[in-house]
Amino acid sequence: MKYRSYFKSISIKNKIFATMIILVVISITVIAFFANNISQKAIIEKAKNNSLRELVLINNNIETLITNVEDYSKMLATDYRLQEVLYTDMSVEKPEGGLENLIMRKKLSEVLSNFVEPNTKVKAASVLSSRIQWADVGYADNEYAARLFGTEPVAMKLENNNKPIWTGLVPFKFRYDSTESNVFAVSKAVVHKEFGKTIGMVALYVKESVIAAIYENSLNHQGGEFYILDEKHSIISSRNKSLLYHDFTDMTAISLPNLGERETSFILGKGDDELLVSTQHFEPLSWTIISVIPLDAITVENKEITKLIIRIGIWCLIFAMGISFFLSRSITKPLFILASTMRKIRNGQMNVRSSYKSMNEIGHLSDGFNSLMDRIEALVAKNAEEERTKSEIEFKLLQSQVKPHFLYNTVETIISLIKLNMKTEAIAAAKYMANFYNISLSRGNDVISIREEMKLTESYLEIQKLRYVEYMDYSMDIDEDIMCYATPKLMLQPIVENAIYHGLKWKKEKGYLQIVGFMQNGQIIIEVHDNGVGMDKQQMEQLLEPAVEDKRKVSFGARSVNSRIKMLYGDLYGLDVESVSGSYTKVTIRLPIKEL
C-alpha cells in the first residue's frame, strides 16, 4: 500500500520517464543476458569442434610420423647390405670376424646413416646381431639398448613377428649427452630374404620432443595444454616434461571418463576453474591424445562481446533517457498548462482559459474545457443576476411589508395617545413617523449614509418605545468617524425589529436594546445587543440559513439583510449571530468602508 500510494503521488511526467527507463533497462538486460548465453554457448561449441579438429590433425600427424618411422625400420631391416653383414656375422666362427670388424662396421654406418638425423626425425639407430652384439649410428648407447631390449637370442625374441614393435616412453642415453633423454623406440626383426631366417634386429629411437613438436604449435588458447597418455593413463608426452611418467589424474586433478571412445569433449569444474577437455584415441599404439583448455581462455571473446553489449546498452540507455524525457515533456506540458489554468480558476479567476491549441487528444480536451468554462461562467453570471434580482425582490418585499405595517401601527399608536390626552407624545410619534418615511423613501436610493440609517432606526425605536414603554428601552453609541460612510437602506431596522418582537417582548421584565457602531481592522462594525430570551443553536442557524419550509419573518428579514450585504460587498461582509438561550442575543453587522 505504501508503494502504491507513493506511485500515485508521482507526477505523470516522472511516471512516463521512469516507465520508459525501466522498460529500456529490462529490454537491454534481457537481450544482453540471452545474447551472452547464446554467444557463450556458440563459442564453447565452436571451441569443442576446433579442439576435436586439432586432435584429429595431431592424431593424423602422429600417425604419419609413426608410419614413417616404421617404414624406416622396415626399409632398414630389408636392406641387402645390412642383411649381408648380419648373415656374415652369424656365419663366422670368431666374434672378431663379425660386427667387430672395422670393414663390417663401416658398411653398417653407411647403411644406418641414411635413416637417422638429419635425414629423418630418428635420433639414432642400433643393430643387434644374432650373437647379441650391438652396432649403432647416431651415438646410441649400446648399454642402454641392451638394457632396453634384453640379452635373449634374437631368433627367440622376434620369432614369428615381422611387425615393428614400439616401446613406451623410456629414458635413454646417447653418447656425448650429459643427461638422459625421453625416447620412444621401435624394433624390427631382420629376416634374411633368401633363407627366411631371423639374423638380427634393428632399433630406431625417436625423441619425445619430436612428437611434442607436432602439437606445441597448435595451442590456440592461452593456458591450453596437450597431453598424450598410454593405455595405463601415464603421461608420455607433454610440454611440461616434469609430468612425464606420472599418472594423468594425479598430476592434473582431471578425472577422465571411459577413454575407449574414439573422441569425446566435455566440461569439468565450476566457476573460474571450468575446463574444456577433449580426447582423441590413437588406435595404432593405444594412446590417448588430450586437449585441456581453461574455459576463461575460450570465452575471452564472449567477454569482449559482453563489454561491447554493455557499452551499446549504456548508449542506448542514454539515448532512451533523452527520448523519454522529451516524450514525457511533450505529453505532460499541455497537461501542465491545463492544470495551471484549473488552479487559477479554482482561485477565483473565472475568466482564465487554456492557451494550448492542437489537433491531438489533449488539444480536444483543452478546447472542451474552455467551452465548459464558458458555459459555467455564463451560468454563474446568470445565477448571480438571478440572485441579485431575487435579493432586490426580497428587499422590496421587506420594504413593502415594513412601510404599511409600520404606518398602520404608528397611526394606531398616535390615535391611542390622542385618546389618552397625550398630545405631546402623539405629536412626537407623528414627527418620528414622518422622519422614518422621509429617510426610507430617500428619493428612491437603496444606499444611504450610516448617519441617515441611524436616524431612521432611532425614529423606529422611539415610536416602538412609545408603544412598548413598559418592556423595552434602548441606547445608541455610534462613532462619529463612521457616520459618513455608505450602507444599504433599511439594513439595521429588520435586525432591531427581530430583537424587539422575538427577544425583548417575551422577556418577563423590562429589556434593554443597545446599538454600538465603530471601525475595526478596516471594517465598519455595528452590533445590536439585546438581553431578551435569546436563541438556541437551531434558531441561530435558521436566522441566516432558513430551511425551505421555514417561512417565519424572524429569519426572512435577517436573511434578506445578510444576502443583500454579501451581494453588494462580498462574502467577507454580512451578519454574525451570537446568542445564549434565556440570556442574550448579539447580531454583528460587518460593512466595508465605502464612501457614499
User: Confidence band (pLDDT; 50, 70, 90) for 411?
Assistant: confident
Give the mean model confidence (pLDDT) for residues 562-577. Answer: 87
As a three-state string, the secondary structure of 498-543 is HHHHHHHCCCCCCEEEEEEEEEECCEEEEEEEECCCCCCHHHHHHH
Predicted local distance difference test score (pLDDT) of residue 444: 60
Give the mean model confidence (pLDDT) for residues 419-423. Answer: 78
User: Under DSSP, is residue 137 helix (H, G, I), strand (E, B) or coil?
Assistant: strand
Phi, psi of 237 (to 5 degrees): -160, 135
Q: What rounded mean pLDDT belongs to the chain?
A: 80
Can you name the residues that pair with 275 across neighbouring β-strands? 268, 294
- Smallest CA-to-CA distance from 297 within 222, 220, 217 is with 222
For residue 372 the three cell numbers come to 465548459
Give the mean model confidence (pLDDT) for residues 375-392. Answer: 74
Give the C-alpha separation, 20 to 126, whole Å.
82
- Which residues make Cβ contacts (< 8 Å) with residue 181, sequence separation at least 6? 123, 171, 172, 173, 174, 207, 208
Question: What helix, strand, coil percent values describe the chain, rounded to 5?
Answer: 55, 20, 25
Predicted local distance difference test score (pLDDT) of residue 100: 55
Give the C-alpha separation, 548 to 545, whole Å.
9
- Smallest CA-to-CA distance from 465 within 429, 508, 515, 507 is with 429
- In this predicted structure, the answer to whether residue 220 has a pLDDT above a threshold of 70 is no
Predicted local distance difference test score (pLDDT) of residue 591: 95
Give the C-alpha separation, 55 to 290, whole Å.
8
Q: What element of type H or E holds 478?
A: strand 472-478
Predicted local distance difference test score (pLDDT) of residue 94: 54
- Which residues make Cβ contacts (< 8 Å) with residue 555, sequence separation at least 6? 542, 543, 544, 546
Interval 550-567: pLDDT, tens: 444 445 678 888 888 888
- Which residues make Cβ contacts (< 8 Å) with residue 228, sequence separation at least 6? 62, 211, 235, 236, 237, 238, 282, 287, 288, 289, 290
Give the C-alpha separation, 68 to 65, whole Å.
5
Angle between helices 423-441 and 450-467 (to 10 degrees): 150
User: Confidence band (pLDDT; 50, 70, 90) for 541?
Assistant: confident
- In this predicted structure, the answer to whether residue 193 has a pLDDT above a threshold of 80 is yes
- In this predicted structure, the answer to whether residue 466 has a pLDDT above a threshold of 70 is yes
CA separation (Å) from 101 to 85, 86, 154, 592?
Answer: 10, 12, 20, 152
Predicted local distance difference test score (pLDDT) of residue 97: 45
CA separation (Å) from 195 to 90, 192, 201?
Answer: 13, 5, 16
User: Confidence band (pLDDT; 50, 70, 90) for 43?
Assistant: confident
- Better-scored residue on pLDDT, 299 or 260: 299
- In this predicted structure, the answer to whether residue 485 has a pLDDT above a threshold of 60 is yes
For residue 516 the three cell numbers come to 454600538
User: Confidence band (pLDDT; 50, 70, 90) for 404?
Assistant: low
Domains and CATH numbers, the chain: 78-212 (3.30.450.20), 345-372 (no CATH), 380-592 (3.30.565.10)
Give the C-alpha separation, 485 to 451, whole Å.
8
Q: Which residues of 340-357 are buried (b: 16+ CB within 10 A; e: fewer)?
A: ebeeebeeeeeebbbebe
Predicted local distance difference test score (pLDDT) of residue 553: 43
Interval 86-128: pLDDT, tens: 888 777 665 554 455 556 667 777 777 788 877 788 888 888 8
> Is 501:562 a contact under the CB 8 Å cutoff?
no
Interval 121-167: pLDDT, tens: 888 888 888 777 777 665 788 888 888 887 665 444 554 457 899 98
Q: What is the pTM of this model?
A: 0.54
Predicted local distance difference test score (pLDDT) of residue 396: 56
- Smallest CA-to-CA distance from 65 within 148, 184, 192 is with 184
Predicted local distance difference test score (pLDDT) of residue 229: 92
- Smallest CA-to-CA distance from 282 within 216, 231, 239 is with 231
Can you name the residues that pair with 588 across neighbouring β-strands? 527, 576
User: Confidence band (pLDDT; 50, 70, 90) for 337?
Assistant: confident
User: Confidence band (pLDDT; 50, 70, 90) for 65?
Assistant: very high
Predicted local distance difference test score (pLDDT) of residue 260: 60
Give the mean model confidence (pLDDT) for residues 225-230. Answer: 91
The dihedral built from the CA positions of residue 364, 365, 369 and 375, taken in this order, carries a sign that is: positive
Does a cis peptide bond (omega within 30 degrees of 0) precede residue 404? no
Share of the chain above pLDDT 70, in %: 84
Share of the chain above pLDDT 90, in %: 17
The length of the chain, given as a count of residues:
596
User: Under DSSP, is residue 374 helix (H, G, I), strand (E, B) or coil?
Assistant: helix
* Max Cα distance, the chain (Å): 201
